[in-house]
Amino acid sequence: MRSGLLWGVVGFLGLLLPSEANAYPFMIRHGYTGCAQCHVDPSGGGPLTEYGRGQAEIFMRTVYKDRDAQWPGPGPEKDFLFGAVPLPDWLFLQGDIRSMVIPEPGNVRFLLMQSDLRAAVQASNVTAYISGGVVSEGADEAWITRNTTGANFVSREYWAGYSPAKGLLIRGGRMDIPFGIRSEEHILFARSSTETTTNDNQQVGLDAVYGKGKLRAEVMGIAGNFQLSPDDFRERGYSALAAWAITNRFELGVSSLVAHAALDVDTREERLRQAHGLFGRWAPVQSVGFLAEADALLDASAGASSAFGTTGYLQVDYEPVQGLHLKGTGEWCDNDLSDTDSASLRGSATALWFLAPHVDVRADVMYGTLYCTPGTAPTPMGLVQLHMFL
């Protein structure tokens, strides 16, 4: 019985772990406080630019042979399909596959968490971007089809934008919500409790992104998730963040979100939720980086008193050799400080290895709860997953 429960927890965890690639906030250790240089989306995530692909090859993957002074730089192995299909300068394509095998005795399961094709066009001051793919389970709020017992087509992002001035992009469409530290680790309490994951929490809206010098900022007017219906389930409100790079390896920021829905998807009651917080990234030396976030939560549903809570995490990322990241993460979450339930706590140890061009493998061992569910007994969890992008 215990064995079956543990495998079930492992399998369920697999549905929740990263499904969105290439949002690696630890790049601050190389002096990158912003994201616009390396990503089509100036807030990070989505397809890499030509420059971003080059930096991934230079800084992120393990190098098995010393590069001497005569090394010419990244070759075609950095490009889409390893350079087999040259693309024009205005077109960006990227495929992402993320999968996991659950080796439960007698019931080996394969989970396809992501198989997305991403396409972006940049011409003069105009950018347009769309992603689409298939998942075998999960990512409900990004579904295009509605198969409740198997695979579904998903589209996490689609938007178009115009840049009226250097460093400023104004866009509309379905986008990631600007809040806190954008990370590939959407199981973090700070992401799931604020409903700002990159897995399926995107919203349709109008957005302005600014990044120049030491300042980056973004504000989004939320019109709702139009892949949910009826309209009463769609949230309206705003989300915003601003961050200042004190040095090129130290950044502090603030976030704010307010969203209202006539009917919450889970409770079927009117809901007003808020989240406001602080975040920071710091790399005292190139091989070590710290990420931290702390958020205040306020949830008001019809027929219930308002609940005030907090969530956050501290993560240290150590890179002993290029491409191998050893992480330790401590998290907390309490969605209602007024009750007697103890806060949800979780500790994680992670090994993330970028072992070859376009390939990384990740192993996680955790002890705690899956969700922000104060009062729930902690359990051990773990998994291994493989990610490839083209």
Q: Is the dihedral of CA 260, 265, 267, 270 positive or negative?
A: positive
pLDDT at position 303: 60
Neighbouring-strand partners of residue 363? 351, 384
pLDDT digits 0-9 by tens, 137-167: 888 898 999 888 889 999 999 999 999 999 9
Grade residue 104 by pLDDT with cuts at 50, 70 and 90: low
Question: For residues 207 and 175, is the Cβ–Cβ distance under 8 A?
Answer: yes
pLDDT of 26 > 70? The answer is no
* pLDDT for residue 265: 86
Nearest-CA neighbor of 335 among 306, 314, 307? 307
Least confident range of 74-78, 275-279, 284-288? 74-78
Confidence grade of residue 37 (pLDDT, cut at 50, 70, 90): confident
Mean pLDDT (the chain) is: 86
Residues in the chain: 390
Residues 257/1, Cβ–Cβ less than 8 Å: no
Q: What pLDDT was estimated at residue 4?
A: 45
User: DSSP assignment, residue 19?
Assistant: -
pLDDT digits (tens, 9 = 90+) for 39-51: 888 887 778 888 8
CA distance 113 to 18: 8
CA distance 77 to 55: 12
Rounded alpha-carbon distances, angstroms, from residue 135 to 22, 94, 138, 141: 18, 17, 7, 12
* 166 alpha-carbon distance from chain centroid: 26
Amino acid, single-letter form, for residue 291: L
Q: How confident is the model at residue 18 (pLDDT cuts 50, 70, 90)?
A: very low
Residue type, 143: W
Count of Cβ atoms closer than 10 Å to residue 375 Cβ: 12
Burial class (CB in 10 A: 0-12, 13-18, 19+), 74: middle
Q: Which two tokens stand for residue 142?
A: 């990004």
Nearest to 284 by CA among 313, 250, 252: 250
Torsion of CA 41, 22, 115, 145, to 10 degrees: -50
Mapping DSSP to helix (H, G, I), strand (E, B) and coil, where does residue 307 land? strand
Go through the domains of the chain in sequence order and give each one's CATH number. 2-389 (2.40.160.10)
232: helix, coil or strand? helix
Rounded Cα distance, 78 and 86, in Å: 12
Asked if residues 284 and 256 have their Cβ atoms less than 8 Å apart, the reply is no
Whether the full predicted model's pTM is greater than 0.85, yes or no, is: yes
